[in-house]
Amino acid sequence: MIDRIRDLLKAKDWHPFTIHRTGGDSIQILSREQAWVSPYSRLVVETAPGRIEVLNPEQTTGVDVASITFTEIQNQTG
C-alpha cells in the first residue's frame, strides 16, 4: 500500500487521492505537498494546516484515486 501511495505522489500526471485508514476514516490528499513517504515506509500527512500525522503501513487499508473526466483532460492538455 505504501509503495502505491509513493507512486501516486511521484506520478507525472498528478491526481488527488484518498487514503483509507483502519478504523474507517480517510484522508484526502489534494496536493503532492500534503503527504510524504519516509525512507522507513511511514506516511507523513498534513491533515489540516499545521497538523501532521505519521502513519505506519498497517494503518492504511486502501487508496482511491479521484476519477478525471474527458473535459478535465482537455483543459490540462489544451
pLDDT tens digit sequence for 27-77: 999 999 999 999 999 999 999 999 999 999 999 999 999 776 666 666 656
Identify the bridge partners of residue 13 per DSSP, sorted by sequence position: none
Strands 35-37 and 26-29: unpaired
Identify the bridge partners of residue 35 per DSSP, sorted by sequence position: 45
Specify whether the CB–CB gap between 45 and 27 falls below 8 A: yes
DSSP letters for 58-71: GGEEEEEEPP--HH
Question: Is pTM beyond 0.85 here?
Answer: no
Given the candidates 3.40.640.10, 2.60.320.10, 2.40.40.20, 2.30.30.100, the CATH classification of the domain at 2-77 is 2.30.30.100
Provide the residue ranges of all domains of the chain, joining segments of one domain with +.
2-77
